[in-house]
Amino acid sequence: MEPGGARNVLTQMRRGTLAYCVLAVLRDRERYGFELVRVLGTVDGMVTSEGTIYPLLARLRRQGLVETTWQESSAGPPRRYYRLTRAGRGSLDDFAEEWVRFRDGVDLFLAGRTES
């Protein structure tokens, strides 16, 4: 196991799932970048920063999983809003299905309910 303890474990888990968490937050409505940071920050263990979210959103956009529009803001300059594409919804659905299987498997190991 690598040094760093629980913090390093959480960082690794977050790195592997953050994109799908962003897609999930965008499932029901479009949002702008800083709003995504705030929403993710309300969940324990998902705290992230603009320095993480904006490159991730750019990657998701290049992959065709999200699309953007600019909208005027009453509180400053226009904001870029992100929304799921059909491909993004499909990717999220695929992840959700696999996540359940993966999570259940890990839970079995952690609970010690596997046969040797």
- Of the candidates 111, 69, 83, 105, which has an alpha carbon nearest to the alpha carbon of residue 27? 83
pLDDT at 116: 58
pLDDT at 6: 65
pLDDT at 35: 94
pLDDT at 49: 86
**pTM for this model (two decimals):** 0.86
Q: What is the rounded radius of gyration, in angstroms, for the C-alpha atoms of the chain?
A: 17
pLDDT at 5: 67
Q: Is 116 inside any structural domain?
A: no
Q: Is 37 inside any structural domain?
A: yes
Q: Please give the residue range of the domain that contains residue 16.
A: 5-111
Q: Is 16 inside any structural domain?
A: yes
Number of domains in the chain: 1
Please give the chain's pLDDT, 116 residues, in tens. 556 666 688 788 888 899 999 999 999 999 999 999 999 999 988 878 889 999 999 999 999 999 999 999 888 899 999 999 999 999 999 999 999 999 999 999 999 877 75
pLDDT at 108: 92
Q: Is 86 inside any structural domain?
A: yes
- Of the candidates 42, 87, 98, which has an alpha carbon nearest to the alpha carbon of residue 65? 87
Say if CB 61 and CB 45 are below 8 A apart.
no
CATH of residue 62: 1.10.10.10
Q: What is the 8-class DSSP label of residue 3?
A: T
Say if CB 52 and CB 41 are below 8 A apart.
no
